[in-house]
Structure 1
Amino acid sequence: MATRTAPTSANDPLPSRTASGPRLLERVRSANPTLRRGLGLAAIVFVFALVVATLRRFAGDISYDEVVAALLATSWWTVGLAVVLAACSYASLVLYDVFALRYVGRPQPLSATAFVSFCAYAVGNTAGFGPLSGGAIRYRFYSRLGLSPEAIAAVIGFVTVAFGTGLAVAAFTASAISSEAIGPILHLPPDLLRWGAIAAIAAIVGGYLVLLRRTRSGAGGWLRAPSPAIAGGQLLATILDLFFSALVLYVLLPAGKPDLPVFLAIYTIAVASGVLSHVPAGLGVFETIILAAMPEAVPSQEVLSALLLYRLAYHVLPLIAAALLVSGAEARRVVASPIARQTADAAARIAPLVLSALTLIAGAMLIFSSVTPAPTGDLDFLGSTVALPLGLVEAAHFASGILGIILVVGSRGLAQRLDGAWWASVAAASLAAALCFLKAVAVFEAAFLALLLVALIPLRGRFDRPASLFREALSAPWLFAVAIILLSAGALLFFAYEDVEYSHGLWTDFAFGAEAPRSLRAFLGVCVVAGAVALWSLLRTALDTVAAPSAEELAQAVAILNRQPLADANLVRSGDKALLFSESRDAFLMYARQGRSFVSLFGPIGAPASAAELVWRFAEMAREGGGRAAFYQIHPEVLPLCADAGLRAIKLGEAAIIPLKNFELKGAKRSGLRQTVNRGERDGLRFEVVPVEAVPSVFDDLRRISDGWLESKSAREKRFSVGWFDRDYILSQPVALVRLEGRIVAFANILVTGTKLQSAIDLMRFAPDAPRSTMEFLLLSLMLHLRDEGYETFDLGMAPLSGLSNSPAAPLWNRVGGLVFDHAERFYNFRGLRAFKSKFDPDWRPRYLAVSGGLPPALALADISQLIAGGLTGVVSK
């Protein structure tokens, strides 16, 4: 029996080739995952560029000055009403999380639910990629409130599917009601649109009823339908959300706009198109559809100004509010209510993500400001009244765009809680706020940057990761975000100065009134800096290998593991894993690399105070090496640390932990175990423990048994999460023996630490002619011996895929794992292993895999399988 269990994996077949060779789609599908992801992001950038070009066609007869004039003409009363309606929309969004938590059976206090929902949607609506950005906030927050990773994944999945379904129902309903008005806009016959929408609604409702029936009959498979009450409540929440958010834009639009029912249909179609485009916040896609759907009599410049104010009221202001709320979490920590303290602590955990999004918006604002003209009166004031030198104005304008790029890059570091990112962001925001008064009297820009500083400064302690920004490589999504910002800035530059004829002399034209040359130079500077950052990220040398530990490092690791409780940490003695020590050298990680996966076994080992530091450093190291971080077989206590580092977790199975304090073989419940020991003794089996210093005297006998066991099983040695028969490894620990007539017939190396809180075994091997009860005899005898020695628990190892939730809210991984656990006996005896360990009446404790990035965890599991098996050959053979 192997007490440390490796995951089972299968080999994917190679892509097939047709007689005429693979087609383009087949090549893309068989491409490297990183290449496929890059192609996907490039496609989104292309779609965004195409949308910008289309938007320019619709706004071709509009000038920048006309849009600014329309903005200034909007009454404050109208803007205030839009803000109130946006607040109503966000209040309805809280219902998404309320019903999702009921769906998974883990309702939370309304205050905590409202807080996380508001923050998640404030970031998700603005930064885009809602399931990822908003989902990361939910994971960090709800994990601190005690929800399991499975429950959090179900919540994220529920709100994502519920929004998509509700949006589809709302769009089809509005289209059916207003088909006469919507049909010409979509170039569809009204009757076809009406009946098509009705058919789609009927299909959605019918699908739900079928799924509900299958759920109630227990035949729902992987999908479980929510109850009618939850489904109806969620649909109502979606309708309220869309209604109020549509009203935000509706009240800002000028006279001549469509009637409200028609506009609701247009709005839902625009929102759905923005979501499907995968462009962050549907930027450009949403605006293009709204512009195209407006009647010709409605002034386009007033529609554009309404859209800008809509983005401000519905996206930017909620993000500012979320940032100010989380920055106040530290002050609320002193309140007496335990729930309030718990919420404040969880809020502080999500603060880096919220502040990261706000910093990204601030950086984009500075870049956009640098490519657009300043009000003429402000420049006249600086030049005539203040008599500011022209060179200072030019430098302030140019530097403002560069500081914007610094904030955009720093926002990624803020999401990772890097102290260098905090200092860079604070310095850049402070300097940019001062320059706002030198490049032009930009009061609103300065106020926004001041709010950013107010949010950043109180949370200095949350950015405690000592890492340099220059060691960070920007990920593809962040490079994509920079590309979107630059494309937007370029489009805005040409829109603002479309009446200015280009000439080479523009680059050297310096004057207070020379707005176009100033903006052109600023845009060039922004592009050069952004390009340098992108090249630095793309051309960085990846870390190809990891160094084996030196004898001194192994000695330090052994000294640390002897002061902590985890017995399995003794696997560091095998020497096949690299080591990462904490700054204080009181904790370490052991890890290996396979493919793109940097895999840490068991997570941080040693002082708990250093655990967070090690998780972050390991995640950063994997990222710098061009790979993904994975923490294999970690305990639930490590999950919040992994969540803080942006990793997501899945349950691998459960470990069987035997409490030894009251372990005995008396009583009817243990009669079978008692008979096993008695039978072994009658057969002549004798148990003994050989101390470390005496192991060399029996080493040759142990090797004979090990070689015979491997040969009889047609097996090969495993690695990584299990030890192997290596002389130095075997001689480093005590060994339990079973003798038959004085001859050693079985052994197991014992894993213990100085704390005596936990004990375990690793290799357990026996001679082919040993009695059948030898294995259980050894285990029971060893547990009784360790109990008498004062050890508190004994770890029997993990039962893979056991204990995965089968509730209606269980995520897809649990469904797949449950099917494998129940029906894969041909390949691995999952149920048998669980049943064997259950005989010892253990406490079953969950074990998890946490993986960084957005790729499926199966990729990391495949790499881990190769690590354990010693390569791909070992995966497909014993």
Structure 2
Amino acid sequence: MPAALPSEPAGTSSAQPGRLARLKPILIAVVAVLIVGLSVLALSRLLSNVVYDDLLSAIEDTPWSRIGLALLFTAGSFLALSIYDVHALHFAGARLPYRLVALASFCAYAVGNIAGFGPLTGGSVRYRFYSPFGLEPEAIAKVVAYVAAAFGFGLAFVAGLGLTISGPDLAALIGMSGAAVRGIGLLMLAGVAAVLLFSAARRGSVTVFGRAVALPNLRDIVSQLVATSVDVACAAAVLYVLLPDGDVSFPTVLAVFSVAIGAGVLSHLPGGVGIFETIVVGALGTRLPIDGVISALLLYRIVYYVAPLVVAVAAMIVSEARRATMASPALTAAVSGIAPIMLGTLAIVLGAMLVFSGVTPPADARLDLMDAFIPLPLVEGAHFVGSVIGIFMIVAGRGLVHRLDGAWWLALVLTALSIPLALLKALAIGEAVLFALLIVGLVSSRHLYTRPASLLHDRLSPAWWLCIASILALAAGILFFVYKEVPYSHDLWWQFEMSAAAPRSLRAAVGIGLATAAVAAWLLIRPPSGRIEPPSADDLSRAVAIVAGTGHAAANLVRMGDKNLMFSDDGAAFLMYAKRGRSWISLGDPVGAEAGRRELVWRFIETARAHGGRAVFYQVPADSLALYADAGLSAFKLGEEAIVDLAAFDIKGTRRGNLRNAINKAERDGVVFEVVPPEGVPAILDELAAVSKSWLEARKAREKAFSLGAFEPDYVASQPVAVLKKADRIFAFATLMISGDGREAAIDLMRFTPKSANGTMELLFTRVLLHFKAAGFAAFSLGMAPLAGLSDSPMAPLWHKLGRAAFEHGNAFYNFHGLRAFKTKFDPVWRQRYMAVAGGLNPLLALADVTFVISGGLKGAVSK
């Protein structure tokens, strides 16, 4: 870490949890890589007597009628999967037309099946799809949790049923007694039955580890169980119809399939690759030809995993082509939100395909045709370059998910190169068609890739290294399997013949390894970027100039000069932030032009990660959450901001009689209201300072910072100040922040002398609101009501429960109730405000760091 960066405070309470949080994903990745390695080793032993040519023959001998039937069962499985989302939305209290739910479900599972643990990966797809239709993050989190729980519950039921029915047959396959297998199945069914009986007897919610967990009603559970059973049964049927003929019943395949799928999900590997195949081959390989089982598994992966993704991308392309004519803006936004994920996933799949094809030979018939028409140097070059492109395509796929414009250009160039290379190296027409589909998808979604950032600017996360390591491990296993009968010789490296496939694959494997090493060296060895330096006077002037062109009044907090600044590359936007411990805390969204704002979000996250920290975006609005979700952050509600619609605000009628009476009484008492422009503030600074000092002393309080202004002379004099005077002496004031477009104003410091009459602040607020209404402003922000609006439902997330507890019982430290009640007098519109940060312990640690930054340390945090 550079010397310019402050070190971790010694003895901070967040140190140990922070280390555990950093080590957890690394440990998971290491364990997953070990699992992949063991799976490859187990498969290599199981396939020791299988010849690659026999495997190709088994694939070619599979009738097209069976492939068509497998596609029908795939459609049935995905249709049943849509019921998950229907029930999940009902459980979350939301309603959407079935056609939209089915589309979201299909895309979520098309991506989730390939990318890893479907409920979690599919959760990001669901968030991007459902958010434009008004679903809040809490509701979408319930949907994701419901889908995960429903899948696990249903899978246990189907597996138990399969084990019970096929106990004797399965026992013979795995070397256990039939009674033991059937006993395991009955035990699983008994567990499912117990859950059903418990749900029937206990409605509403149940407390688990001190936390209330909502329970669906019995009818929904049974209906979901049926849907899951149909889903798993259809998915198992896809594999069953692709298997060679033999003495294996469908219930046996169903039981083996259920166990293999469950193990694949728990492994957190992309698509459960390796684990799933090992279990299926180990269980069914004793009754069926192993080459037939492997060919069925390969076709199953293509039919059930790749085909739905291709269909989803094609549907996205059609939707993007019809953007201008689509009647629903929400649907347009939903499709655009999930398009980068689908295109990125397809790019990763195609990159893996290039790697795998690089270590396998083309069919003999294609070699003969290539020998007649394509010169050998072109074949050799295309094979090597195409294999290396595979690794860079995977890296580009990650960038596509994150909407990097550099990734878009890289993917477009690589894809355009891959089409002729696929034809030159192996006459691979299927590969060329898939790359053509990706090109069409990239071109149709060009408008989504607006983030100008370096593709190699960030360090890859352990999950991405796990993805690359899994692909390389499988490629190595495939290489040794395909050429196990070819004796190794150093001369192989220098053989260049059309029929010499083994040397060509060896050279491709070395190229793949070197490309991976080059990427790893750059991302792991390069020095971290981003040094924290206090803002200069020129930086502050640039930021103030940007604020003058925006419609966000609170952005004027940059004038305090207590926050660090990060500018976009084009200088049209900036982000203000502070750092404490491992938390890099941005105050709200970036300010300025849209393109620069998106760039800054990603660069800020990358910079924080490069220094081993966590990026925190504090007090961001709900309509910005999709941007942070794209970056892998989660949203945690902080409270609500009170916004007064000035066009609708007045003091007429009985409801506003107290405000009207306060104004009339103040006028009779000789109280004068005035808004002093910035150029007039220096003349009254001494009076304002005296009022501020008496206000702080009376409350035994200290100045705050970061998200609040402090009484700094230069800061106070930079903006208008509203004052109340009596006998030409100021006894109350409020500093005001004005947006650059003259449509929004906000209040900052609010201070009055201890001897001021009751209702002074109420009077000051009313006069300020009327002043800006008369000036033609549209809205006035009264600031945040912390922890307001959090759900008090027994089924609410833990974050909401902690916040509600603080709101109800924390008045000794902060007047939560009084602040919200005071602002409610002016009939504001309450707008939700969130903190965007990674999950786990990060939200609590980040909120603690934010509190310390605002309060100026521990002493300020525990005092008023």
TM-score, normalised to structure 2's length?
0.91
Q: Which residue among 104, 109, 122 is the counterpart of 1:121?
A: 109
- Tell me how far apart the structure 2 counterparts of residues 30 and 334 of structure 1 sit (CA, whole Å): 47
- Tell me how far apart the structure 2 counterparts of residues 538 and 874 of structure 1 sit (CA, whole Å): 39
- What SS does structure 1 have at the residue aligned with 2:643? strand
- Tell me how far apart the structure 2 counterparts of residues 703 and 350 of structure 1 sit (CA, whole Å): 53
List gaps (5 residues or longer) in structure 2.
1-10
Equivalent position of 1:501 in the other structure = 487
Equivalent position of 2:256 in the other structure = 266
Distance verdict in 2 for CA 1:211–1:865, change over 3 Å: farther
1:647 deviation in Å? 4.0
Q: Which residue identity lines up with residue 459 of structure 1 in the other structure?
A: S
Listed as ranges, the matches of 1:106-255 within 5 Å are: 106-182=94-170, 185=174, 187=176, 189-190=180-181, 192-209=183-200, 211-214=202-205, 222-255=212-245
- Tell me how far apart the structure 2 counterparts of residues 619 and 186 of structure 1 sit (CA, whole Å): 52
1:312 deviation in Å? 0.5
Choose 738-747 or 795-804, whichever is displaced more: 738-747
Distance verdict in 2 for CA 1:673–1:174, change over 3 Å: farther
Superposed CA RMSD: 3.1
Q: Deviations over 1:51-85 (max 9, x none)?
A: 22222222222222221221111111111111111
Q: Which residue among 462, 465, 468 is the counterpart of 2:451?
A: 465
Listed as ranges, the matches of 1:29-108 within 5 Å are: 31-108=19-96
* Matched-pair contact (CA < 8 Å) for 2:451–2:598: no
Q: Which residue identity lines up with residue 446 of structure 1 in the other structure?
A: A
* Matched-pair contact (CA < 8 Å) for 1:474–1:537: yes
Tell me which stretches of 4 or more aligned residues in structure 1 moved more than 6 Å: 678-684
Equivalent position of 2:303 in the other structure = 313
* Matched-pair contact (CA < 8 Å) for 1:173–1:201: no
Q: Which residue identity lines up with residue 308 of structure 1 in the other structure?
A: L
1:453 deviation in Å? 2.4
- Tell me how far apart the structure 2 counterparts of residues 815 and 117 of structure 1 sit (CA, whole Å): 30
1:676 deviation in Å? 5.3
- Tell me how far apart the structure 1 counterparts of residues 367 and 302 of structure 2 sit (CA, whole Å): 26
1:606 deviation in Å? 4.2
Equivalent position of 2:327 in the other structure = 338
1:324 equivalenced with 2:311 (yes/no) = no
Q: Which residue identity lines up with residue 476 of structure 2 in the other structure?
A: G
1:410 deviation in Å? 0.6
Q: Which residue among 574, 587, 594 is the counterpart of 2:560?
A: 574
- Tell me how far apart the structure 2 counterparts of residues 528 and 850 of structure 1 sit (CA, whole Å): 38
Q: Which residue identity lines up with residue 715 of structure 2 in the other structure?
A: Y
* Matched-pair contact (CA < 8 Å) for 1:597–1:860: yes
- Tell me how far apart the structure 1 counterparts of residues 305 and 763 of structure 2 sit (CA, whole Å): 66
- Tell me how far apart the structure 1 counterparts of residues 546 and 412 of structure 2 sit (CA, whole Å): 38
Q: Which residue identity lines up with residue 202 of structure 1 in the other structure?
A: A
* Matched-pair contact (CA < 8 Å) for 1:274–1:282: yes
Q: Which residue among 412, 419, 423 is the counterpart of 1:437?
A: 423
Choose 31-40 or 588-597, whichever is displaced more: 588-597
1:747 deviation in Å? 2.6
- Total equivalences in the alignment: 850
Q: Deviations over 1:491-513 (max 9, x none)?
A: 11111122233343333333333
Equivalent position of 1:408 in the other structure = 394
Equivalent position of 1:725 in the other structure = 711
Equivalent position of 1:446 in the other structure = 432
1:242 deviation in Å? 0.5
* Matched-pair contact (CA < 8 Å) for 2:67–2:242: yes
- Tell me how far apart the structure 2 counterparts of residues 346 and 190 of structure 1 sit (CA, whole Å): 46
1:405 deviation in Å? 0.7
Q: Which residue identity lines up with residue 784 of structure 2 in the other structure?
A: M
- Tell me how far apart the structure 1 counterparts of residues 546 and 153 of structure 2 sit (CA, whole Å): 53
Choose 477-486 or 167-176, whichever is displaced more: 167-176
Identity level (%): 46
Distance verdict in 2 for CA 1:431–1:607, change over 3 Å: closer
Choose 235-244 or 633-642, whichever is displaced more: 633-642
Distance verdict in 2 for CA 1:53–1:729, change over 3 Å: same
- What SS does structure 2 have at the residue aligned with 1:592? strand
1:769 deviation in Å? 4.3
1:292 equivalenced with 2:292 (yes/no) = no
Equivalent position of 1:531 in the other structure = 517
- What SS does structure 2 have at the residue aligned with 1:328? helix
Q: Which residue among 649, 660, 680 is the counterpart of 2:635?
A: 649
Q: Which residue identity lines up with residue 127 of structure 1 in the other structure?
A: A
- What SS does structure 2 have at the residue aligned with 1:249? helix
- Tell me how far apart the structure 1 counterparts of residues 423 and 677 of structure 2 sit (CA, whole Å): 76
Distance verdict in 2 for CA 1:478–1:702, change over 3 Å: same
- Tell me how far apart the structure 2 counterparts of residues 396 and 597 of structure 1 sit (CA, whole Å): 47
- Tell me how far apart the structure 2 counterparts of residues 506 and 872 of structure 1 sit (CA, whole Å): 68
TM-score, normalised to structure 1's length?
0.90
Q: Deviations over 1:506-537 (max 9, x none)?
A: 33333333322221221121111112212222
- Tell me how far apart the structure 1 counterparts of residues 452 and 254 of structure 2 sit (CA, whole Å): 49
- Tell me how far apart the structure 1 counterparts of residues 629 and 693 of structure 2 sit (CA, whole Å): 43
* Matched-pair contact (CA < 8 Å) for 2:813–2:863: no
Equivalent position of 1:592 in the other structure = 578
Distance verdict in 2 for CA 1:14–1:814, change over 3 Å: closer
* Matched-pair contact (CA < 8 Å) for 1:104–1:808: no
Q: Deviations over 1:553-595 (max 9, x none)?
A: 4334333433433221211111223344556655443333444
- What SS does structure 2 have at the residue aligned with 1:729? helix
Choose 441-450 or 676-685, whichever is displaced more: 676-685
- Tell me how far apart the structure 1 counterparts of residues 830 and 734 of structure 2 sit (CA, whole Å): 23
* Matched-pair contact (CA < 8 Å) for 1:541–1:625: no
Equivalent position of 1:382 in the other structure = 370
1:550 equivalenced with 2:539 (yes/no) = no
Q: Which residue identity lines up with residue 338 of structure 1 in the other structure?
A: A
1:804 equivalenced with 2:798 (yes/no) = no
Distance verdict in 2 for CA 1:574–1:109, change over 3 Å: same
1:806 deviation in Å? 4.5
Q: Which residue identity lines up with residue 200 of structure 1 in the other structure?
A: G
Q: Which residue identity lines up with residue 52 of structure 1 in the other structure?
A: V
Q: Which residue identity lines up with residue 279 of structure 2 in the other structure?
A: I
Q: Deviations over 1:133-155 (max 9, x none)?
A: 21111111111222222222222
Q: Deviations over 1:766-789 (max 9, x none)?
A: 334444543334333433443344
Q: Which residue identity lines up with residue 52 of structure 2 in the other structure?
A: Y
* Matched-pair contact (CA < 8 Å) for 2:734–2:748: yes
Choose 669-678 or 755-764, whichever is displaced more: 669-678
Q: Which residue identity lines up with residue 373 of structure 2 in the other structure?
A: V
- What SS does structure 1 have at the residue aligned with 2:735? strand
Equivalent position of 1:366 in the other structure = 354
- Tell me how far apart the structure 2 counterparts of residues 756 and 497 of structure 1 sit (CA, whole Å): 73
